Amino acid sequence: MEAQSATPSAEIRKLQDRYTDGYRVARTIVGLGRLVKLLGKILAVLFPVVGIAVSLQTRIYGFGPAILGVLFGGVSWLGFFVLGVLISSQGQILKALLDAAVNTSTFLTNEHRARIMSLV
């Protein structure tokens, strides 16, 4: 059995390539969701800073720009956070589906399964 795992057959290599590509796509989707959430955090900080800077530069408007900056920052953070969670969850669902497919494949040994799922 160890000789088989050292030199996998052509069928096993094709399966490994297919599943590796699938996991790569899933990780990319999860990473995109994290990037969207990070963008929301950046905007949550940027809007209030710009609002405070505008309110300090133009004393005519008082604290209106600062309040609007905080409000826009909070709303943008919430929107981007929800969108990022939804995107990341799609990647996690894809990973779970791939895990189920790999786990039930009769062509693979436990060692192959662990390697494909990046558990070793």
Phi/psi region, residue 109 (left: phi>0; alpha: psi -120 to 50; beta: rest), is beta
Q: What is the pLDDT of residue 11?
A: 82
pLDDT at 2 over 70: no
Q: What is the pLDDT of residue 6?
A: 55
Q: How far, in Å, are 5, 26, 39, 53 from residue 112 at the CA level?
A: 7, 19, 37, 57
What is the mean predicted confidence (pLDDT) over 86-103?
95
